[in-house]
Structure 1
Amino acid sequence: MLVLSRKKGESIMIGEGIELIVLGTEGDTVKIGINAPKQVEVYRKEVYLAIQQSNREASRSSLIGRDLSGLIRKTEK
């Protein structure tokens, strides 16, 4: 892990198109601005993890649905 110290108004570049800017601090909270191309998805980690979990659950239910539909077709014949 790379650890950097930045002050208010300073920024960090990730690649050529993503800039993280320290906007300020309030107690233990840091406000960060993110400039990134529109095609780059930016999420808070807890939201990202929830999306991943939802995608896994949807994938499992899709697979279960296909398995059950195959069984139903076999019994109808």
Structure 2
Amino acid sequence: MKYTRFAHDRKLKLKEVCELLQSEDGALWYQTVTDTYILLYNDTVTNKERIRFTIAHELGHYVLKHNEKTEKTI
């Protein structure tokens, strides 16, 4: 999901999304209520290669199960 959509849906500013997710690039967000993940990326980044890298990086966290090695949730 794009940061701008995430911000719009939650009535947040882009800066607030970056602060909430602790990243200006992207994040893998775990939703405890639905036991699902949302891959978020900053669509305001102009470098498309950077966006692709960020998406691949966040998918890597999921595939390598890094989420299971931390207690951190949002």
TM category, shorter? under 0.3
Name the larger-Rg structure: 1
Would you tell me which structure has more helix in proportion to its own residues? 2
Structure of higher RCO (CA pairs closer than 8 Å, 6+ residues apart): 2
Would you tell me which structure has more strand in proportion to its own residues? 1
TM-score norm. by structure 2 comes to 0.27
